[in-house]
Structure 1
Amino acid sequence: MDEILKKAMRSALYMMSLFTVVWAFVPDGRAVAAGIVLGCGASLFNGLLLRRRIDYIGRITVEQGPRKMSLGLAGRLATVLLVVMIANKFPQHLNVAATLSAAFYVQIMVFLIGIVTYSKRSSGKG
């Protein structure tokens, strides 16, 4: 799982780099490019939060210790809400739709990379 998340995060960094270049050289697409960069940044942060949560759950499962309650999903949703509110506050600089769609980039890429990885591993039988 860790290698899949690393690949997804690396692709998000490449996408952010690409849209930073688009922002610099395409004046008409600056709001969309900036929204995608902001959304991908939030998606990277959420990916790190999710990775930390998965490591914590694995550690607790092995140790059989008392579980600590936390705001796992609520924290990730608050991150998305924050970047959408920022984009909504500055519509001349950030596109809200681009920000919202890019805020789920890492999670979608984890899903797609996981499908590709596990379909290569299966022999096609069964």
Structure 2
Amino acid sequence: MNEIFRKAMRSALYLMSLCIVVWLLVPSLKAIAAGIVAGCAASLFNAYLLRRRIDLLGQIVVDQGPRRMSIGMAGRLATVLFVVMIANKFPQHLNVAATLSASFFVQIAVFLITAVTYSKHSGKG
């Protein structure tokens, strides 16, 4: 799982780097590129929070046995809401649709990387 998470994080960082280059070179796409960077940043933050929370939950289960604990969905939704509200407040700098779309980039990347990885492994058997 760590390798899949690392690949998804790396792909988000590559996308953000590409968008920064587009932001610098193409003036007409500045708001869209900036929105993608802001959304990817929120997505990276949410992925890190989820990974940390799952590690903590696993440690609690190992140490103390089963215990009811949420995985912090409200905090991750608040992060996306915060970034989209900033984009809505400053539409000349951040494209709202690009920001909202990119806010789920890492989660979608994890899903796709996992699907490709496990389809390769199941094809070998």
How far residue 123 of structure 1 moved from its aligned partner, in angstroms, is 3.6
In the alignment, the residues of structure 2 paired with residue 71 and residue 122 of structure 1 have an alpha-carbon distance, to the nearest angstrom, of 30
Bigger drift between 85-94 and 65-74 goes to 65-74
Please identify runs of 4+ aligned residues in structure 1 that moved more than 2 A. Answer: 64-71
Go from structure 1 to structure 2 and tell me whether the alpha carbon gap of 1:114 and 1:66 turns closer, same or farther (over 3 Å shift).
closer
Indicate whether 1:23 and 2:27 are aligned. Answer: no
How far residue 63 of structure 1 moved from its aligned partner, in angstroms, is 1.6
Q: Deviations over 1:10-34 (max 9, x none)?
A: 0000000000000000000000000
How far residue 64 of structure 1 moved from its aligned partner, in angstroms, is 2.7
> Does the residue aligned with 2:93 lie in a helix, a strand or coil?
coil
Indicate whether 1:44 and 2:44 are aligned. Answer: yes
Percent identical: 73
- 1:104: which partner in 2? 104
* Amino acid aligned to 1:54: I
Task: Say if 2:50 and 2:71, in contact at 8 Å, map to a contact too.
Answer: no
Alignment of 1:1-126 (within 5 A): 1-65=1-65, 67=67, 69=69, 72-123=72-123
How far residue 67 of structure 1 moved from its aligned partner, in angstroms, is 3.9
Using the size of structure 1 for normalisation, the TM-score is 0.92
Task: Say if 2:16 and 2:36, in contact at 8 Å, map to a contact too.
Answer: yes
Aligned pair count reads 125
Q: Deviations over 1:55-94 (max 9, x none)?
A: 0121122123574745610010000000000000000110
Using the size of structure 2 for normalisation, the TM-score is 0.93
Go from structure 1 to structure 2 and tell me whether the alpha carbon gap of 1:78 and 1:93 turns closer, same or farther (over 3 Å shift).
same
In the alignment, the residues of structure 2 paired with residue 73 and residue 21 of structure 1 have an alpha-carbon distance, to the nearest angstrom, of 33
In the alignment, the residues of structure 2 paired with residue 87 and residue 4 of structure 1 have an alpha-carbon distance, to the nearest angstrom, of 30
* Amino acid aligned to 1:89: K
Q: Deviations over 1:85-122 (max 9, x none)?
A: 00000001100000000000000000000001111111
In the alignment, the residues of structure 1 paired with residue 29 and residue 81 of structure 2 have an alpha-carbon distance, to the nearest angstrom, of 23
